[in-house]
Amino acid sequence: MYLRKRGNRWYYTIEERDKNGIRHRRERYGGQTRAEAAKAYRASKVEQDRTGQYFAPSTKKFGDYLYEWLEGEVIPGGKYNTISTYESIIRTHLVPEFGNVKLCNLTTPMLQDYITSLRDTLAHSSLSSILVVLKTSLRWAVANRRYLLVNPADNVRLPRCELRPVASKIFTPDQIVAIFDRYPQGHPLHMPLMLSYCTGMRLGECLALEWKNVDMDKRLIHVVGTSIDKCDNPIVAPPKTLASIRVVTFGQRLCQAFKNQKLWQSENRFHCGPYYVADPEHDFICTSESGKQLTSNNIKTFNVWAKKQFGLSFHSLRHTHASMLLEHGLPLDYVSKRLGHASIYTTANVYDTITDKREQEAVSLMDAFL
């Protein structure tokens, strides 16, 4: 094995035979360190012994390759939100930084230094997402496209950071009263707000809910889809995870809200006449006065108001529902299933916060035996 350093780069030399059996020595870039060059040499020898051919790493630009990976691997089987997230990471982070770098020139130190440099500017979750895209995309370059023999992102690690538990932001009882005073029955936003508050359903799940998914007699909601409206035409897609497909019970308050909503829609249909927009494929519960399905864009007005008044958002209704259930003694596993979490640990980490009421109950209990 012959290795040598030229400037800040290490190269290795490998022999191969042409079709006439004549041997040729070729020098190839191996990495930024001697160890990387040695690893690249060994990988090339293994490939040569296995196939009888020498493998030359691709000179394709990383930016071009990332979009090839997105179109060839992610889009065909990926969910819309995953595709959107990956595309955003590629466009805003990876292409500006590495777009013109050749695949064969990507190194572990280069990628590690980049991830480490973002430690003070991005959240830990954002860093983790960027690293997932790097590792997954380059793994495809090795295993599927055969542009590389080794994945330079394999040994890249997230920098250490101190993760502080963040208490869920929830609405107080007075704030809930203020919300439904501002958005009473008859307001288009009343129904999605009431749904999330009474069931903990996600926004997309509320907007995708149809009347056929509600059993008024048994008071059951079958959550089977989520509304995705970031594209031009809103669609109802499968929920976030398999655990999100669930049955949610509801009480008298939401039952009455459903009855009022049904009557409100009937009145709107009568008053609008031929101008009532009835979806031929779906019978949505959350609609505007004209019958059109509500979208996340309609909820922005509530988010602006709630942010200004309370520093919270629509999603805080889900936090509020979960915290109220835990506060009143419902088991953590029940709350987890009701919210559609894939893991009980998610519920414990995000929602099982110590509220004032639970703290007071704990103090009273300790006073009784300490």
The partner residues of 102 in beta bridges, in order of sequence, read 61
Is the residue at 368 inside a domain? no
Both 184 and 73 in one domain: the answer is no
For position 283, what pLDDT does the model report? 94
Is the residue at 366 inside a domain? no
Tens-digit pLDDT profile for residues 114-133:
999 999 899 888 999 999 99
Is the residue at 149 inside a domain? no
The CATH number linked to 272 is 1.10.443.10
Q: Is the pLDDT of residue 22 over 70?
A: yes
Is the residue at 165 inside a domain? no
| DSSP strands (E only) in 217-266 | 220-223, 226-228, 235-237, 246-249
For position 257, what pLDDT does the model report? 97
The partner residues of 248 in beta bridges, in order of sequence, read 221
Both 242 and 111 in one domain: the answer is no
Provide the 8-state DSSP code for 330. -
Is the residue at 347 inside a domain? yes
Both 42 and 130 in one domain: the answer is no
For position 354, what pLDDT does the model report? 47
Tens-digit pLDDT profile for residues 167-224:
558 999 999 999 999 999 999 999 999 999 999 999 999 999 999 999 999 999 999 9
Both 257 and 357 in one domain: the answer is yes
Both 177 and 234 in one domain: the answer is yes
Q: Is the pLDDT of residue 311 over 80?
A: yes
Question: Across the chain, what does the average pLDDT equal?
Answer: 86
**Confidence label for 278 from pLDDT (cuts 50, 70 and 90):** confident
The CATH number linked to 119 is 1.10.150.130
Residue 345: which residues within 8 A CB-CB, separation 6 or more?
A: none
- Look up the domain containing 41 and give its range: 2-51
Percent of the chain with pLDDT over 70: 86
For position 300, what pLDDT does the model report? 95
Is the residue at 24 inside a domain? yes
Domain count within the chain: 3
Both 105 and 24 in one domain: the answer is no
Both 114 and 246 in one domain: the answer is no
Q: Is the pLDDT of residue 259 over 70?
A: yes
Both 251 and 318 in one domain: the answer is yes
Both 186 and 321 in one domain: the answer is yes
Instruction: Specify whether the backbone of 227 is left (phi greater than 0), alpha (psi in -120 to 50) or beta.
Output: beta
